[in-house]
Each structure stands twice: as structure tokens, then as C-alpha cells.
Amino acid sequence: MLNPQPLVYAGFYVLVVLLPLHVAMVADPFDLVRPWMVELAVALGFLSFAMMWMEFVLVSRLRTLSDAFGTDTLVQFHRMFGIGAAVFLIGHVLFLLPTGGLALLNPFAPKAAAASGAIAFWALVILTISSLWRRRLRLSFDLWNRLHRWLGVLAAVAATVHVLAVSGYSSARSVVVVTWLLALFAGGVLFWYAIVRPLHLWRRPWGVVENRELGGDVRLLTVKPEGHAGFRFEPGQFSWLITGRTPFSREQHPVTIASAASAAEAPQAYAIKRLGDWSGEVVPSLKPGDRLWVEGPYGALSVDRLPAQGFVLIGGGIGITPMLSIIQTLQARGDRRPVVLFYAANDFSRTIYREELAAWQRAMDLKVVYVLEQPEAGDGCERGRLSAEILRSHLPDAVDHFQFLVCGPNPMMDAVEHLLGELGVPPDRIHSERFDQV
Ligand SMILES: Cc1cc2nc3c(=O)[nH]c(=O)nc-3n(C[C@H](O)[C@H](O)[C@H](O)COP(=O)(O)OP(=O)(O)OC[C@H]3O[C@@H](n4cnc5c(N)ncnc54)[C@H](O)[C@@H]3O)c2cc1C
């Protein structure tokens, strides 16, 4: 049956974004008709204002949204609508330039209405440029992340001051009320995210049980809940691991749960690849008994939500982690449905869980196909990159009733989604999660 939740949320988003514009049109406090360029500019401004506030709602870790769309999709929406808000704001300014002049772009203008508008404009422009070209600008993820949050808040607050201070449509009481309601709603979600959520987590710490090297620059971190019941998850989901002195710490990273989905209070394992400061320095320094916080579960990449006669799992590099949880869970449940795992990596030294995968092959209906770009001579694997031929030669006949789950580096995911399309697999049977979202 069709899940109505995503449709309801999408409808709510459209309603909220259009509401200030609609109320302004109905209220229309002007006696005379204004130039069309000004009317259009104002319309774009109202749309941009509402979209700016809704950007926070999309990435505030609201579980109900993550369940409905998947975190990956929410990040894509956040990016797409963020660009939309910036384009509308640029349009707003461009259409007003003939009447307002370059003074519109002066953040130090004497009048609050003009200065706040210019501040919102520049904050959103810098935020968009730094997000689109983060790597080209050589901004570290951490620095970009901080800049992104503060510029986002600055843009939304300045835009609100602007809407309220401009003596135009906002001279109508209904426009003022809707402006405040929107800011309070999104600001409330932001308050929950920044204050209430960490306070709630603080009372639910987790402890490190084991932290060991797995090879291939990957560590296996095992953690368990301390003094509380933990949480249940579906195989393929991820958590935010929060390290530091409190859950308010900025060190919050999404990592897939690599162990089997079992009882809520059972220890959870995370396979973490060394990439940057956190995974390369903080994670290796964690010792048994150390405290951290685990916030989850999140994500919609889960076999439990998919009706299927079998599964094709395609994992590249560290993107193997959701597949490990899925396989272990199916095995623990005694699930007899066939599973084919394509494990893409550079060579065997970059793979993890080799012995375990061999053991699981004997214990369940699992076929593991290693696809290695530069394997050592004589290895039992496919050579090169994953191709339509490799996929075709290992897929069973009944694959029409299988679901396909894909996770890996972005170029691999793009290539695999294309290959599966070539093989005739419809998009609604391909499910993926991107680790590298920004
Ligand atoms: C849904 C999901 C599941 C993931 N599962 C795993 C996993 O099972 N194992 C694993 O090793 N890695 C996983 N990752 C990637 C992991 O989050 C990053 O490797 C880690 O955050 C790197 O942080 P760093 O400071 O060491 O490296 P940096 O050099 O700071 O970051 C490297 C890249 O990691 C991403 N990243 C860094 N910090 C964050 C953050 N706070 N939020 C979102 N993305 C961030 C960015 O794309 C960045 O470009 C997952 C990512 C996502 C989105």
C-alpha cells in the first residue's frame, strides 16, 4: 500500500512556502497598482524567505522525516531548495535594482529594512557559493559546516527583520502574523535540534566496549548503552556518533551500524574508515570504557521495508557496512531468501570481514563476488570495475523479484545506478545511500 507520509509532508512544505505570499496577495495594502517588476520582486522575496526557514526543518534530524524520505534524499532536498531560495533572492534584488539602486546591496545602510535585506542577501550568496564549491575553495568539512550553520541562521533572521521592517506588504497585520508564525515554527525546530535533543541524549550515554584495527584503514568500534535500553534499528540504518565531553559537541558523524539488528540493549558495531581528523585521530584514541553518545536510528536503506524474494547488495569500499548488517541480520533470523553481494574495492587488502563473509556463505544462501580493480595475481575475484557483464554473469534467473541495495563512493553509485538501468532494473527496485553528501 502507498505510504501517505511523504505526500503529506511534501504538501505541508508547499503550503508553508506559499503561505506568506498568498497572505500578502490577499491582504494587498496598496491603493494603486505597482510596477510589475516590483510585484514580481516581492513575490520572489516572500518565496525565498519561507524556503530559507524551511531549510532548517529538512536537516534537523527529525526522525519522522528521515523515515519518510531517507536522510540522503532530505540532504538532496535541502541542497535543491537552498539553491532555489538563493536564486529567488537574487531575482528579488535584480528586479528591485531599477527602483532601489545599488544601495540595496549595502549591509551598512542606515535603515534597518535596507541593511537587513542586504545582510540576508550576502549571507545566502556566500553560503551557496561555499557549499557548491567547497572542495574547489579548499574548505575543510568542519570549517564549511560551521560557516554553513551560522550563515544560514544569519540569513533567515536578517530576512525576517527585513520582511517586518519594510513598510510594504508587511504593513498588513496578517502578513506580520504569518511571518512570525513561520519564524517561530522553524526556529522552534532549530531550538529542539540545538538544545532539547542534546539534553535528552545526555541522560543516555553509551560506552566503548572494544576498538580494534580491521585492516584497510578501517577500525571496528563496538559500543553498548549504559544505564538505559539503547534502541532498536533496521539492518542498513545508521546513527550519529557523538564524541566529546557532552552531546553538544560539534564532533557528530553519521556512521552505519555494521552489526546485526537484534535487541535494543545489545552492543552495536561500527566500521569506521580513516578519512580526516575525526575518523583518523578521535576514533583511534577511544578506549574501552570511554563515553560517547549514539543517536539513532536514521535512514531508510533497510531490507525490512522491501517486499522481495531475494536481495542484490552492491557495496563499494566502506559502503560495505550496511550490507554487513543486512547479511548478519538475515542469517541470525534464519531468513532463507537468496542474497548476492558484489563487494567492490581496489584489492583484497582494502576489504574487511573476509573471513566472516566466507563463513556466512556456508551458513546461508549467500554468494559473495569480489570485484577488485587491482587484485593480486591468482585471487578468486572479478577484475576491474563493476560492469554489466559482471553483474549479469552472477545474477540469478529470478532477479526480477529481487531488490537492489547500493552503497559506495559517489562515482561508483552513479555508475552502478546507470548499469542497473541498462540491465532493465526499474528505479523503484534500486535503493541507495550516499556517504559523501557534501
Ligand atoms: C548515512 C551515512 C552513513 C555513513 N556510514 C559510514 C560508515 O559506516 N563507515 C564510515 O567509515 N563512514 C561512514 N560515513 C562517512 C562518515 O560520516 C565520514 O567518513 C566521517 O564523518 C568523516 O569525518 P572526518 O572528520 O574523519 O573526515 P573529514 O575529512 O572531515 O570528512 C570527510 C568527508 O566525510 C563527510 N563528513 C565529515 N563529517 C561529517 C558530518 N559531521 N556529517 C556528514 N558528513 C560528514 C563529508 O562528506 C566529508 O567530505 C557515512 C556517512 C553517511 C552520510
pLDDT along the chain (438 residues), means of 10: 86 97 91 88 97 97 91 94 98 93 90 95 97 95 95 98 91 94 97 97 97 95 96 96 96 96 93 95 97 94 90 96 97 95 94 96 96 82 93 90 94 93 92 83
271 lines ligand 1 (CB under 6 A): yes
User: Measured from the CA of 135, which atom of ligand 1 is nearest?
Assistant: 49
Residue where a domain terminates, one of 298, 327, 357: 298
pLDDT score, position 293:
98
Instruction: Tell whether 146 and 192 lie within a shared domain.
Output: yes
pLDDT score, position 402:
95
Instruction: Tell whether 236 and 376 lie within a shared domain.
Output: no
Instruction: Tell whether 271 and 216 lie within a shared domain.
Output: yes
Smallest CA separation from ligand 1 atom 53, residue = 435
Distance 408 CA to ligand 1 centre (A): 12
Distance 279 CA to ligand 1 centre (A): 8
430 lines ligand 1 (CB under 6 A): no
User: Measured from the CA of 437, which atom of ligand 1 is nearest?
Assistant: 47
Distance of CA 295 to the CA centre of its chain: 14
pLDDT score, position 262:
87
Smallest CA separation from ligand 1 atom 9, residue = 272
Closest-CA residue to 46 (of 120, 129, 154): 120
Residue where a domain terminates, one of 264, 298, 332: 298
254 lines ligand 1 (CB under 6 A): yes
pLDDT score, position 378:
62
Instruction: Tell whether 261 and 172 lie within a shared domain.
Output: no
pLDDT score, position 32:
78
Instruction: Tell whether 147 and 125 lie within a shared domain.
Output: yes
268 lines ligand 1 (CB under 6 A): no
pLDDT score, position 376:
79
Distance 246 CA to ligand 1 centre (A): 20
Instruction: State how far the Cα of 8 lies from the Cα of 173, in Å rounded to an integer.
Output: 29
279 lines ligand 1 (CB under 6 A): yes
Neighbours of 268 (CB within 10 A): 28
pLDDT score, position 351:
95
Instruction: Tell whether 167 and 215 lie within a shared domain.
Output: no
Distance 314 CA to ligand 1 centre (A): 19
253 lines ligand 1 (CB under 6 A): yes
Instruction: Tell whether 69 and 192 lie within a shared domain.
Output: yes
Distance 88 CA to ligand 1 centre (A): 31
Instruction: Tell whether 377 and 258 lie within a shared domain.
Output: no
Instruction: State how far the Cα of 338 lies from the Cα of 313, in Å rounded to an integer.
Output: 11
Pocket test for ligand 1, best of 435, 436, 437, 438 (most atoms within 8 A of CB): 435
User: Measured from the CA of 140, which atom of ligand 1 is nearest?
Assistant: 30
131 lines ligand 1 (CB under 6 A): no
Instruction: State how far the Cα of 225 lies from the Cα of 209, in Å rounded to an integer.
Output: 10
CB–CB of 320/328 below 8 Å? Answer: no
Domain count of the fold of the chain: 3
Instruction: Tell whether 406 and 317 lie within a shared domain.
Output: yes
Instruction: Tell whether 94 and 193 lie within a shared domain.
Output: yes
Residue where a domain terminates, one of 174, 200, 226: 200
325 lines ligand 1 (CB under 6 A): no
Distance 285 CA to ligand 1 centre (A): 17
Distance 79 CA to ligand 1 centre (A): 17
CATH code for the domain in which residue 213 is found: 2.40.30.10
Pocket test for ligand 1, best of 253, 259, 433, 436 (most atoms within 8 A of CB): 253
Distance 17 CA to ligand 1 centre (A): 31
User: Measured from the CA of 257, which atom of ligand 1 is nearest?
Assistant: 8
Instruction: Tell whether 30 and 173 lie within a shared domain.
Output: yes
Distance 254 CA to ligand 1 centre (A): 6
Pocket test for ligand 1, best of 72, 78, 141 (most atoms within 8 A of CB): 141
Distance 321 CA to ligand 1 centre (A): 13
* Backbone Cα Rg of the chain: 25
281 lines ligand 1 (CB under 6 A): no
CATH code for the domain in which residue 308 is found: 3.40.50.80
User: Measured from the CA of 282, which atom of ligand 1 is nearest?
Assistant: 26
Distance 436 CA to ligand 1 centre (A): 7
Instruction: Tell whether 161 and 294 lie within a shared domain.
Output: no
Q: Quote the domain boundaries for residue 244.
A: 206-298
170 lines ligand 1 (CB under 6 A): no
